[in-house]
Structure 1
Amino acid sequence: MNRTTAYATSSGLALTKQPVAPAPQACAEMPAPVVRDLRDRGGRSPHALLFGPRDLVVITGLPGSGKSTLMRRAVRGPRIDSQDTRDRWDRRMPRFLPYGLYRPFVRLAHYAGLRSALRSGEGVVVHDCGTQAWVRGWLAREARRRDGILHLLLLDVDPDEALAGQRERGRGVSRYAFRRHRTANTRLLRAVTEGTLPAGCTSAILLDRAAADTLRRIAFTG
């Protein structure tokens, strides 16, 4: 039986585990949704988050909130980040070519890489911008198919701080796109805070910038 560890102490010891129901019983006996709020702890939050060997983890938040930085620093195991895909394409393309012209190909490459990673059956951490709800639906179906669990890591970062993060990395999104991200993120944050998770998600962990900076390891057991 696949068991999920959705929260760990600073030393990396698991505190809670949630059993996954066998496939025939999944609809009736899936674990109740769990929300863990690690915000406002002044850095006294876990250094490690551990998940089951077949679980899927979605990291979401505003552009510039630090998702890619967190993934590069903390993820131990397969990770699929759309920013990595864009960076690879940017290195190949002529500098004079606007990103908008080859953006569709970047997205296709990103989703092809995600599909390949999911087919391995291993645990995967996935970057999610928060505006593509169909991606979470896809991951939720895949988690059920592999007898795993879908977890949400939500970075709650102030919009001004996220914009500063975009300026720091020298790359941002348009005002229109940022408004769309902000609306979707605000709606998701409100729902999760009230205990309502996106369809297919079994657990959600809320992180502020301090909690994200404290986190050093995101890994899969087994």
Structure 2
Amino acid sequence: MPAPVSPPDPVSPPAHVSPPAPVSPPAPVAGLRPEGVVDLRAPGSRAPAVLSYPAGSVVVVSGLPGSGKSTLLRRWSPAAPAVDPRTAHERWEARMPDRLPYALYRPCARLEHFFRIRAAVRSGRPVLVHDCGSRPWMRRWLAREAGLRGHELHLVLLDVGAAQALEGQRARGRWVRERVFTRHDRGLRKLLHALDAAPGRGEGDAAVPAEVAEAASLVLLGAGTREHVSALEFRESRASRELRPGRSVAQ
């Protein structure tokens, strides 16, 4: 009777062969001073760790409800005060009876939000503004108010798509009415279409198109690249540097 045959030992890879290294996303750029349109929506884009703006700038963070605007504002708020409509909403909600629907006092909350924006912009200091991005009149008004004080308006636009924005609403447990969401989505799609069709697109950073001509720059962030921008900074003005203690201004 033949002797039983033992199964062969498992084959081990040669010692000199290393396992494939995991594929990492591109390393973020250390910092960026946005000019014109800076499109960082593509997953492989090297989004900066810091966005750097001139002193006193007004930076508007726009996007659909649920796209992550409030999260970005909280992350960036160490650089400047952030004006979020949710603050006014919650203040009015706290002072009203629970049985009273928000729709009845929504105009009061919106008016308070507008006055808070106006006070922040007129202070002359840098400010972050939460906005849906579908109201051109708001951008123009902000640019005019900032310009009267020698400052610029800059835009950061989150383009994550309607499905992901709705998922963001579900995750936070707060829903925007379908009619309101559809209106915001329509306005944002119109703006993005105009941006994508603007002359010079695809040839590097392009000039700001007519649809957002009031802005000195527009940064477009996608669902992945929005996570890479960890901070904002506002550069000191020349006058501030000259007036530091220990320095004198030439007469």
Taking structure 1 as the reference length, the TM-score comes to: 0.82
Instruction: Report what 2:122 is aligned to.
Output: 119
Q: For 1:209, which of 208, 213, 223 is the aligned residue?
A: 223
**Paired residues of 1:47 and 1:217 also in contact (CA < 8 A):** yes
Gaps of 5+ in 1: 1-8, 19-33
Bigger helix share: 1
Verify the 8 A CA contact 2:76 2:230 in the aligned structure 1.
Answer: yes
- How far residue 17 of structure 1 moved from its aligned partner, in angstroms, is 7.5
Aligned to 1:4: none
- Measure, in 2, the Cα distance between the counterparts of 1:142 and 1:64: 28
Are positions 1:11 and 2:13 aligned together? no
Q: Indicate the residue corresponding to 1:47 in structure 2.
A: 49
Match of 2:233 in 1: 219
Specify the SS of the correspondent of 2:48.
coil
1:87-102 to structure 2, matched below 5 A, reads: 87-102=90-105
Q: Output the CA distance in 2 between the equivalents of 1:148 and 1:194.
A: 29
**Partner residue, 1:67:** 69
Partner of 1:30: none
Q: Distance in 2 between matches of 1:89 and 1:73?
A: 25
Instruction: State the distance in 2 between where 1:43 and 1:37 align.
Output: 9
Quote how far apart the aligned CAs of 1:124 are: 1.1
> Does structure 1 conserve the Cα–Cα contact (< 8 Å) formed by 2:34 and 2:53?
no
Counterpart Cα distance in 1 of 2:92 and 2:220: 32
Quote the residue 2:40 is aligned against: 38
1:151-190 matches, within 5 Å, as 151-190=154-193
Match of 1:209, SS?
A: coil
Deviations 1:145-185 (A, max 9, x none): 12222111110011011011111111111111111001100
Alpha carbons 2:56, 2:124 under 8 Å: kept: yes
Determine which structure has more spread, i.e. the larger CA radius of gyration: 2
Distance 2:126 2:88 in 1: 19
The 1:171/1:69 distance shift into structure 2, 3 A limit, reads same
- Per-residue CA distance 1:56-96 (angstroms, 9 max, x = gap): 11111111111111101123212111122212222332222
Deviation sequence 1:90-126 (CA, Å, 0-9, x none) = 2332222211011001011101111111111011111
Distance in 2 separating the partners of 1:145 and 1:111: 18
Contact 2:63 2:132 in 1 (8 A): yes
Q: Distance in 2 between matches of 1:43 and 1:81?
A: 28
Q: Are 1:43 and 1:210, in contact at CA under 8 Å, matched by a contact in 2?
A: no
Q: Does 1:200 align with 2:202?
A: no
Identity %: 44
Give the equivalent residue in structure 2 for 1:5.
none
Give the Cα–Cα distance (whole angstroms) in 1 for the partners of residues 34 and 96 of structure 2. Answer: 46
- 1:193 and 1:71 mapped to 2: Cα distance? 26
Aligned equivalents of 2:215 and 2:67: distance in 1?
22
